[in-house]
Amino acid sequence: MTIANAINKIIGQSPFLEEALSEGLINVSSLARQLLPEVERLTKKKVQESAIIMAIHRRPAGQSFRISKGIKTFMNELGDIIVRSGLSDHTFENSQTINTCQRQLMEAVSQDKEAFCTISQGIYETTIVASNSLDEKITEIFSSEKRLAQKGGLSSVTIRLPKNNTEVSGVYYFLLKNLAWAGINVCEIISTSNEVSIIVSEQDVPRAFPILMNLKSKR
């Protein structure tokens, strides 16, 4: 294996590294020193750091660079960003009666236009993200179900997406990457065709909101 092929293999396996290189965020000389042992293992020969540096500089733009270029244009078309606080997360194990409980909850929610409530049913469990005001109602309706987890003190940051969002690769990766780099934990993600709600701790909203707004405002 050539040095160039070894570099392509190593960097290609790490999207974060590839993206950081494309953004000019990495010291190439330091990176070359770190990659030296692995390059020598792959090429089965002694390699000079200068040869690795040259191979990195000559490497063509990878897939993450092409994705990021399209995503940045896409982000300029984001719609409104809405924050809703005072939410709780409830997770129950799926059962033969879980759908009946869901219907009862949605009937109750229909009487309260101010309440927020979403239900996501997976293969083994169902998660409800709802306003704190519904906590007692959820506990009552799902009293016979097995509760797996419950967490309060949450907020949702809802983003309206352009209608072509399903045709653009990396939309969710780009949103979540920026939150991850800021050390913000995402508790849940709720999506429909043209909007996505990111559920975070209420204490993280002051940091999460401006990050997402900044993505929207970049040109």
Domain boundaries, the chain: 3-60, 81-217
Tokens of residue 142, six digits: 């799902």
Comparing CA positions, the residue from 108, 104, 156 lying closest to residue 129 is 156
The confidence band for 214, taking pLDDT boundaries of 50, 70 and 90, is confident
pLDDT of residue 28: 87
- Give the HSE-up count for residue 79: Cα atoms under 13 Å, Cβ half-sphere: 13
- Sequence-distant (6+) residues with CB within 8 A of 186 are 176, 179, 180, 198, 199, 200
The confidence band for 219, taking pLDDT boundaries of 50, 70 and 90, is very low
Q: Is the pLDDT of residue 72 over 80?
A: no
Homologous superfamily assigned to 81-217 = VC0802-like (3.30.2130.10)
The confidence band for 76, taking pLDDT boundaries of 50, 70 and 90, is low
The confidence band for 27, taking pLDDT boundaries of 50, 70 and 90, is confident
- Give the HSE-up count for residue 77: Cα atoms under 13 Å, Cβ half-sphere: 14
pLDDT of residue 157: 92
pLDDT of residue 66: 53
The residue that leads in pLDDT, 218 or 190, is 190
What does DSSP assign to residue 75?
A: H
pLDDT tens for each residue of 8-24: 888 877 766 776 777 67
pLDDT tens for each residue of 114-125: 889 999 999 999
pLDDT tens for each residue of 85-100: 999 999 999 999 999 9
pLDDT > 70 in the chain, percent: 84
Q: How many whole angstroms separate alpha carbon 199 and alpha carbon 106?
A: 20
pLDDT tens for each residue of 151-188: 999 999 998 887 766 666 677 877 888 888 889 999 99
Q: Is the pLDDT of residue 213 over 90?
A: no
Candidate from 24-28, 128-132, 193-197, 209-213 with smallest mean pLDDT: 24-28
